[in-house]
Structure 1
Amino acid sequence: MTEEEKQVFNLDFNYLYGAPQSEGIFKQSCEDFNVEENLGFELTGEGEHVCLWVQKVGENTAYLARELAKFAAIPAKNVSYAGLKDRNADTKQWFSLHIPGKITPDFSTFESPGVTILNVVRHNKKIKIGALAGNTFAIVIREISDKSAMEKALLQVQGGVPNYYGSQRFGFDGHNVNAALLMFRGRKIKDRFKRGMYLSAARSYLFNQVVSARVKDDLYDKPILGDCVQFVANRSFFPLTELDKQTKQRLKSREVCLTAPLWGAGELTSLDDAKQYESELLTPYQEIQAGLAKNGLKQERRPLLLVPEKFSSIWLDNKTVRVEFYLPSGCYATSVLRELIKAS
C-alpha cells in the first residue's frame, strides 16, 4: 500500500473511566495469558466428526489446524474450530476433524511443539466459526506502577467497559481498514480469509466509532428515543418507541442492553433520535458503508457495553496482579485490559 493510498484511521477510542493511571505489562510470557474456550453445548460422543480438546502454548490456531489435517490425512478444509485464539498465549480450545467412515486416528502420537491433545470425542456436527458461548481468561499483569490506581480500576471495570473490537482486528495503524477501502474501490483480493478480515475490520471500525462517541457524550448507559435494545438472554433486539420507567428499569437490571450498529445493507434498525445520531456520526464513512452493503453484509446490532462475568483478582505481589473473568463469544479481553492499564 503506497503512502498516497493510505488513509489515517484514528484507533484512539474514548475510555469510559478516563485514561488509566497505572502502567503495566501483560503477555510477558504465554503462560501469563490463559484462555479457555466454552462451547456452551455437550459433544454427542458419536458421529462423523472427531473433536480434539487441545492445549496450545505459543502456537497459531490456523497453522495447528493444517498440521492436524496432515496427521489425519484429510483435506485442510475438513478441519474447523470455533474461534481463532491468540498465538502469544496458553489456550485451550476445540478443533473438529471431519473423518466419515474411518477409524479415529491415534492422536496420542501427534507431536507439535507447545501442543497437547487433552481429549478426543466424536460429534455429529462440525464445530463452526463462532459456535461457542464464550471464553474464560486468566491474565497476569506485571510491573504495575501504581497499585492504588489499579485497585480502583479493578473495581470500576466490573460495572462494564466499552464493547470495543480489539486493536488487533484493525492491523497496524488501521491497515486492514485501508485495505477494505481499496477493495471497495476495485482492488482484487483473491484470498477469502483476507477479504473476510478486511470486511470485518471496516465494519468493526464503524461500530467502535459509535461506541466511542456515546462514551464521550455520556450516553453509554442512557437510552435515546429510538435506540435499539437487545435482550441479554437471547440477543433479539427492538427499538425503543418510548423512554418509560419500565424500560429504564430493564436496562438497569440488564434484562436488556443498549446496542450500536454493525453496518450492512438496508435501513438502520434504530429509529427517531437514535437513528439521526448514528447516521450523522457515520456520515464521514459513507464509502465504507456502501462497500459493506455491496459485499452482502446486513444490518445487525452489538451491545454497547461489555460486562465481564465472574470477575476476580488476586495480588501476587505489590506489582503483580492476576485477573480472571468470562466474556461472551466475540468479545475482547483487551477491551477490559485497556481500561486497567496503559501499556508501558
Structure 2
Amino acid sequence: MVKLYTKIKQKPEDFVVEELPILEPKESGNFYLLKLHKSNTSTLEAVRILSRFLKIPLKEIGFAGLKDKFAVTTQYLTIPDSYTVESCCFGIKNNRWVRKETVNVGKETGFCVEILGKVNRKLNLGDLKGNRFTITVRNFEKNLRGKFYRNLEIVKSYGFPNYFGEQRFGSVKSRDDFVLRYILKGDFDGALRSYFFGKSTVDYWGDWKKLYKTLSPALEEYEKDLIKGLMRGLPAEKAFRILPKNVRLMFNFAFQSFLWNETLREYVEMKYPFVRIPFINNWKLSYYLKVHDFKHLEKLEIPYTGHVYKPEDPKLKKVMKKVFKKYGVKEEWFDKETAGMVVMTDGLRKAIVKPEDFRILEKTKKHVKLQFTLPPGSYATVLLRFLIKG
C-alpha cells in the first residue's frame, strides 16, 4: 500500500487550506474578526499562543474549525472588542515561541493574525461555508496514475464516504484507548493516565513530582497546572477539570467520531462492493466501488447515538446496534453530564460528500496539483486516501 503522507505532505505548501468564511468584516461590532495564516502549527496551538501572549482567556477566542498542522492554512478568529488586539506574528526561536515582526508562512513554522474589522457575534465550530483545498500529490508514478484516475471517476459519480479524518483523533494516543471511556465509567485516574500515556505502562504513575519533572519540557501550561494540582493533593476529577473545556470536549468528539466511522464502515461493507484502506491506529476505512441506490445514499444521514434521531434505514439500525454492542456503549451514557460537560450527544452527519469545483491545476510525470472544495466538517485526507490508495 502507498503511504499517504509520502505523497501529499512532503512540504507544508503541498497542502493548502482556505476557509470560506461565513462572516463579513464591518466597521462596527462587538468582536474583532481576525485572519489567521499559519504553517506547521495546529489551530489549537496557534490559539493557545495567541491567548498567552495577548493575555486573552482561551475560551474568548472563537474559531470555526480545526485546520491541519502540517499545511499552509487560512482561517478566521473572533475576539471580544473588550480586549486589546493587534495584528501580529509568532514563530519559533531557540525552541521557544516568540513574537516576531514577520513570519514566512509556508517556509517557517509559525503564524500571523491580521485584524480585518468587526462582527456582531463570536465564531463557533462549524461557522463556515466550507474549505477550499489546493493539494500537490508527489511521486505520481505510472502505477499510481491509473489507480488515481479510476478512483476519481468513482468519486465524480458517487462522491466518497464522509468519514472523520485523523485530525479528529489527536487525543487518541494508542489504539482504541479513548479518554472518554474512562470518564464515562467515573475513572478519572485512568482518564488522566490515558491522556498522558495512552495504554503504555508507567511505573512512576502517582509520583507526581517525577511525572512533572519527566514531562514538563513538552507540556502545555495547562497540563503543567494539572500535574501541579495533583501534587497539591487534588483528586483526579478536580485535576482533570483544569484542562480547558475545548480540550475536554475533544475526548468526546474523538470517541463519538470513531463510533460514527465504524458505523459507516460497517454499512458500506454490508451493502456495496468495497475496498478496505488502512487508517490511523491500525483502524480501517472502507470505500464503496459502486453504488446501486445512489439517491438513497446521497440523502442518508447517520446519527451519532440514535437516541434523538432514530435511524429509519433498517440496515443502518442493525449496524448501529452491532457497533454499539461491540464497543460496550450504554444508553445511560447518552447526554451524560460529567467533568463539566455534556457528552455522547446526538446529531446527524451526511453519510457521503461530493467535492465541488474539482480541478486538476497541474500534472506532470512526477506530480499532480488538485483543487476542490468540501463542506464544513469533511476531510480532504479522507478523499485522498481513496484516490491514492484505493
Q: Shorter-chain TM-score: what band?
A: 0.7 to 0.9
CA shift, 1:127, in A, is: 1.4
Query: 2:140 matched to which residue of 1?
Result: 144
1:176 and 1:201 in contact (8 A); partners too? no
| 1:255-266 to 2 correspondences below 5 Å | 257-263=299-305, 266=307
SS of the residue aligned with 1:37? strand
Percent identical across equivalent pairs?
Answer: 28
SS of the residue aligned with 1:31? helix
Deviates more, 1:133-142 or 1:105-114: 105-114
Query: 2:38 matched to which residue of 1?
Result: 56
Deviates more, 1:34-43 or 1:163-172: 163-172
SS of the residue aligned with 1:286? coil
Q: Which amino acid aligns with 2:56?
A: I
Deviates more, 1:26-35 or 1:178-187: 178-187
Structure 1's 291 and 144: CA in aligned 2 closer, same or farther, altered over 3 A? Answer: farther
Alpha-carbon distance between aligned partners in 1 of 2:6 and 2:54, rounded to the nearest angstrom: 43
Correspondence for 1:131 among 121, 127, 132: 127
Query: 2:314 matched to which residue of 1?
Result: 273
Structure 1's 196 and 249: CA in aligned 2 closer, same or farther, altered over 3 A? Answer: closer
Structure 2, unpaired ranges of 5+: 90-98, 106-110, 189-239, 274-292
Query: 1:38 matched to which residue of 2?
Result: 20
Alpha-carbon distance between aligned partners in 1 of 2:136 and 2:9, rounded to the nearest angstrom: 8
Query: 2:194 matched to which residue of 1?
Result: none
CA shift, 1:251, in A, is: 4.3
Q: Which amino acid aligns with 1:154?
A: L
Structure 1's 28 and 251: CA in aligned 2 closer, same or farther, altered over 3 A? Answer: same
The number of aligned residues is 294
CA shift, 1:292, in A, is: 4.4
CA shift, 1:60, in A, is: 2.6
- The CA RMSD over aligned residues, in Å, is 3.3
Structure 1's 55 and 170: CA in aligned 2 closer, same or farther, altered over 3 A? Answer: closer
Point out the structure with the larger helix share: 2
Query: 1:287 matched to which residue of 2?
Result: 329
Structure 1's 166 and 22: CA in aligned 2 closer, same or farther, altered over 3 A? Answer: closer
Deviates more, 1:284-293 or 1:41-50: 284-293
| 1:1-40 to 2 correspondences below 5 Å | 25-40=7-22
Relative contact order higher in (CA < 8 Å, ≥ 6 apart) = 1
Query: 2:262 matched to which residue of 1?
Result: 209
Q: Which amino acid aligns with 2:130?
A: G
Structure 1's 65 and 21: CA in aligned 2 closer, same or farther, altered over 3 A? Answer: closer
CA displacement 1:35-79 (0-9 Å, x = unmatched)? 000123423331121111121122232232234345545333332
Correspondence for 1:335 among 382, 385, 388: 382
CA shift, 1:110, in A, is: 6.5
* 2:301 maps to 1:319: no
Alpha-carbon distance between aligned partners in 1 of 2:35 and 2:3, rounded to the nearest angstrom: 39
Query: 1:187 matched to which residue of 2?
Result: 187
Structure 1's 268 and 277: CA in aligned 2 closer, same or farther, altered over 3 A? Answer: farther
Q: Which amino acid aligns with 2:81?
A: I
Structure 1's 290 and 334: CA in aligned 2 closer, same or farther, altered over 3 A? Answer: farther
Structure 1's 251 and 45: CA in aligned 2 closer, same or farther, altered over 3 A? Answer: farther
CA shift, 1:194, in A, is: 3.7
Structure 1's 163 and 112: CA in aligned 2 closer, same or farther, altered over 3 A? Answer: same
Query: 2:164 matched to which residue of 1?
Result: 165
CA displacement 1:116-136 (0-9 Å, x = unmatched)? 445521111111222112111
2:139 and 2:366 in contact (8 A); partners too? yes
Alpha-carbon distance between aligned partners in 2 of 1:86 and 1:194, rounded to the nearest angstrom: 17
Query: 1:218 matched to which residue of 2?
Result: 271
Alpha-carbon distance between aligned partners in 1 of 2:113 and 2:66, rounded to the nearest angstrom: 17
SS of the residue aligned with 2:178? helix
CA shift, 1:25, in A, is: 0.9
Structure 1's 210 and 317: CA in aligned 2 closer, same or farther, altered over 3 A? Answer: same
1:44 and 1:122 in contact (8 A); partners too? yes
Structure 1, unpaired ranges of 5+: 1-18, 221-247
SS of the residue aligned with 1:91? strand
Q: Which amino acid aligns with 1:195?
A: R
CA displacement 1:260-296 (0-9 Å, x = unmatched)? 22126x3551247243443244322333664344244
1:51 and 1:94 in contact (8 A); partners too? yes
Alpha-carbon distance between aligned partners in 2 of 1:218 and 1:163, rounded to the nearest angstrom: 16
SS of the residue aligned with 1:322? strand
Query: 1:15 matched to which residue of 2?
Result: none
Alpha-carbon distance between aligned partners in 2 of 1:267 and 1:105, rounded to the nearest angstrom: 44
Q: Which amino acid aligns with 1:152?
A: R
1:96 and 1:127 in contact (8 A); partners too? yes
1:69 and 1:97 in contact (8 A); partners too? no
Alpha-carbon distance between aligned partners in 1 of 2:313 and 2:150, rounded to the nearest angstrom: 38
Structure 1's 214 and 73: CA in aligned 2 closer, same or farther, altered over 3 A? Answer: closer
1:83 and 1:130 in contact (8 A); partners too? yes
2:17 and 2:73 in contact (8 A); partners too? yes
1:52 and 1:96 in contact (8 A); partners too? yes
SS of the residue aligned with 2:267? helix
